[in-house]
Amino acid sequence: MREAFLLGLGSILAAGLARQQFFALALTLACGVFACSAPDASAAGTGAQQIATRPADPAAQTAANKRAVKLVTDETGRRMAVPLNVRRVVSLAPNLTETIYALGLDSKLAGDTTYCDIPPAAKDKPHVGSTQDPSLEAIVALHPDLVLATTSINRAQTADALLKIGVPVYTSDPHTIAGMLSATATMADLLGASEPGAKLVAELQTRLDTLHAALQDRPMAHVLFVVWEDPLISIGQNTFIADALRWAGAESIIMATQNWPQVSMEEVVRLQPEYIVLTADHLAAETHAHVHNLRDRPAWSDLRAVKDGHVVMASDEFTRPSPGLVDAIESLAHELHPGAFAPKAENSKMKMENGACFYAATAAAGSGRGCGTCAR
């Protein structure tokens, strides 16, 4: 009943919107004709300037954009007509909003959700509600040429309802970092910014390749990635988070095909991860407090990672398939593999010390004495 009501209301809004667009377009054309037929040339120029600087009517823009479209198929298989000139876009997910800003296209962002908070300027945009249950009325009222959604957080019913009332919705479905980069390039192309999109993707890929080169000879760190603590929820092998961990030189101890599996503490204790990775908006100082908190909790205190203080607070960006995820991957890689990023001079010193230790140990082997260089 509720969906039927929303769809019915959407149809009424669409019909009303079409009438508003017709009258707005007719008024704009009438103003143009009046300006061109003005007897005085200077007066005509002034009139045209006034019309040009007047804020454009979103309804008229939407009507004009519908004249030139291209057919596209989104990452869920939905086919739709998208205007060639997208001027107004509504984002239904924080990662999509962040990507729009990363592309420098925030002037086209007509609205987003209440959870869109990166960058802070996104909070000032008109909101259409939550990611799971946005208001169709609020979306239509913003006259978008295109709505952006993602399978990682939005419901399929939202896209279906908007498409039925003539609002194009492009839904992305990233499961890997490569998928995130591809979705970023596609979004840039849809919004008329192919070159900036290609440049951004190339820069992100270069940083990932550099990271891979630094970590390729190092063993993977075995981690428990905690999505939620109570009940304990981790990640499956086919999520973009699992792929992000691999780029950071780590792999999840949880082998599951389910995206967000619930895990028992008994299983975690049996697997004994090397690191616990948490995501929360904490300061570095609060990380130590959280470690002590885990040490005081049953079962968690049985983990060697907790006893050794191997609890890492990853950036919240780690849960968003957006350009900021590359920052989070780099940061986690430095936490898990600090030796891979030591300055060259320090690496050389370590090699010399290790060499001295080897020769000293070899010389002392026959005498029964230990190595005086490293106390082994």
CB-based contacts of 81, cutoff 8 Å, min separation 6: 69, 70, 71, 72, 168
Q: Could you tell me the end-to-end alpha-carbon distance of the chain, in angstroms, rounded to an integer? A: 74
Helix/strand/coil for 81:
strand
Rounded to whole angstroms, the Cα distance separating 282 from 280 reads: 6
Rounded to whole angstroms, the Cα distance separating 371 from 376 reads: 5
Rounded to whole angstroms, the Cα distance separating 222 from 249 reads: 9
pLDDT band at 61 (very low <50, low <70, confident <90, very high): low
CA 375 vs. chain centroid, Å, equals: 48
Cα Rg, the chain, nearest whole Å: 28
Q: Using one digit for the tens of pLDDT, what is the confidence trace for 188-227?
A: 999 999 999 999 999 999 999 999 999 999 999 999 999 9
**What is the reported pLDDT for 241?**
96
Q: Using one digit for the tens of pLDDT, what is the confidence trace for 113-169?
A: 999 999 999 999 999 999 999 999 999 999 999 999 999 899 999 999 999 999 999
30 has a pLDDT exceeding 50: no
**What is the reported pLDDT for 316?**
87
With contact defined as beta carbons under 8 Å apart, do 147 and 90 qualify? yes
Q: Using one digit for the tens of pLDDT, what is the confidence trace for 92-114?
A: 999 999 999 999 999 999 999 99
- How deeply is 239 buried, as exposed, middle or buried, from its count of CB atoms within 10 A (0-12, 13-18, 19+)? buried
Determine the average pLDDT of the residues in 316-326.
93
CA 8 vs. chain centroid, Å, equals: 33
Fold of 2-48+57-173: Rossmann fold (3.40.50)
Parse the chain into domains and list their residue ranges.
2-48+57-173, 216-340
Q: Residue 328: which of 263, 240, 252, 231 has the closest Cα?
A: 240
**What is the reported pLDDT for 279?**
84
With contact defined as beta carbons under 8 Å apart, do 336 and 305 qualify? no
pLDDT band at 288 (very low <50, low <70, confident <90, very high): low
**What is the reported pLDDT for 296?**
80
Determine the average pLDDT of the residues in 307-336.
94
CB-based contacts of 260, cutoff 8 Å, min separation 6: 227, 233, 234, 235, 236, 239
Whole-model pTM: value is: 0.72
Assigned token pair, 260: 């967000």
Q: Using one digit for the tens of pLDDT, what is the confidence trace for 70-80?
A: 999 999 999 99
Architecture of domain 216-340: 3-Layer(aba) Sandwich (3.40)
Helix/strand/coil for 169:
strand
253 has a pLDDT exceeding 50: yes
